[in-house]
Amino acid sequence: MQRRMNSAVPRYRDKVQHWDVINEPLHGNYFGQRLGEDVHSWMFKAARALDPNVQLFLNDYNTVEQCDRGANPEVYLEKVWNLNASGAPVTGIGVEAHYSGEPQLVRLKHDLNRLAMAKLPIWLTELDFSEVESDDQRADYLEAVMRESFAHPSVAGIVLWSAGRSTCAYYKDIDPGMCNPCDACLADSSFKDNEAGRRYVRLRKEWSTHVSRVLWLGKAMKVSPFPKTRYQALRAEWSTHFARRTRLGLPLSFTAFHGRYRVRVSFRGQQVERFFDVPKGAGRLNVAVQL
């Protein structure tokens, strides 16, 4: 285990943002039974020693999807709190969100509220929907869960499970019970959006700000999200699109979603590009750009 960590963690240091230090600890205890329960705390401490900046997660299923005596939010919280009490640097909670049939949104909100008691960021890590009757129904379920999750203050990100048809086919060859049909695909094998993909794109547009207005002639400032990728919402980083004109020296203000922004200022043939981050939560951020 130490050799594996020494190989993988330094290799991707400053390249990956998160590690699932222990995957599905509520559904089996292979290492604990063989090496003692303290090994879980040691794993987090060893990972932190190799990368002081990466976020370290637990990850498990049936925590928000359905009733599971061994993996409900109370059991998950107890695991997190016990690890933190031992000095383990748990910095995030992963819920896989493998849904069978229609998701129960009231339950999802309740379970997220319970898990939020740990005061750690929560990520939906493997979101998909099996046992659906059509692509339209799967798109409805995807939209419902993404809306509920995006609205929750403790949810920091959403990752889809097998978002492409080719990936799904790969898993299907390994285990016919996995990803059959493609439970999370946004596009077909030709990379053409299906209904879930189209719904996803509409959500992205809805959760963005689009403003275009001329105030006065003079310096033009444009603020746009960075990086500008189609599937940025998988990390739940929603965007603000904004373009206005203002006189030189006057402030330009707007309301923005949290995330990273690129500012380009053009004036008399000069162009300056700067980046800034808008943190989560309410507040005011002042950004000065000098030519």
pLDDT tens digit string along 44-81? Answer: 999 999 999 999 999 999 999 988 888 999 999 999 99
Q: Residue 225: how many CA atoms within 13 Å on its side-chain side?
A: 23
Res. 274: pLDDT tops 50? yes
Higher pLDDT, 40 or 172: 40
Q: Which residues of 206-239 are buried (b: 16+ CB within 10 A; e: fewer)?
A: ebeeeeeeeeeeebebebebbeeeeebbbebbbb
- First-to-last alpha carbon distance for the chain, in angstroms, is 53
Stated as kind and residue range, the H or E segment containing 200 is: helix 195-206
Position of tokens 């990850």?
59
Please give the pLDDT value at position 167. 53
Distance CA 17, CA 54 (A): 5
For the chain, domains (ranges, CATH) are 2-161 (3.20.20.80), 209-278 (no CATH)
Question: How much of the chain exceeds pLDDT 90, in percent?
Answer: 51
Which pLDDT tens digit goes with each residue over 2-18? 999 999 999 999 999 99
Res. 182: pLDDT tops 80? no
Which pLDDT tens digit goes with each residue over 73-109? 999 999 999 999 999 999 999 999 999 999 999 999 9
Mean of per-residue pLDDT scores for the chain: 82
- Classify residue 275 as exposed, middle or buried by CB count within 10 Å of its CB (0-12, 13-18, 19+): exposed
Please give the pLDDT value at position 228. 36
- Classify residue 190 as exposed, middle or buried by CB count within 10 Å of its CB (0-12, 13-18, 19+): exposed
Phi, psi dihedrals of residue 133, rounded to the nearest 5°: -90, -20
Higher pLDDT, 33 or 290: 33
Higher pLDDT, 100 or 123: 123
Catalytic positions, written as ranges: 24, 126
Of 97, 186, 190, give the one whose Cα is nearest residue 139: 186
Please give the pLDDT value at position 215. 37
Res. 126: pLDDT tops 60? yes
Which pLDDT tens digit goes with each residue over 185-236? 888 778 889 999 999 999 988 877 655 444 344 444 444 444 333 334 333 3
Res. 183: pLDDT tops 60? yes
Q: Residue 219: how many CA atoms within 13 Å on its side-chain side?
A: 18
Stated as kind and residue range, the H or E segment containing 129 is: strand 122-130
Distance CA 115, CA 53 (A): 23
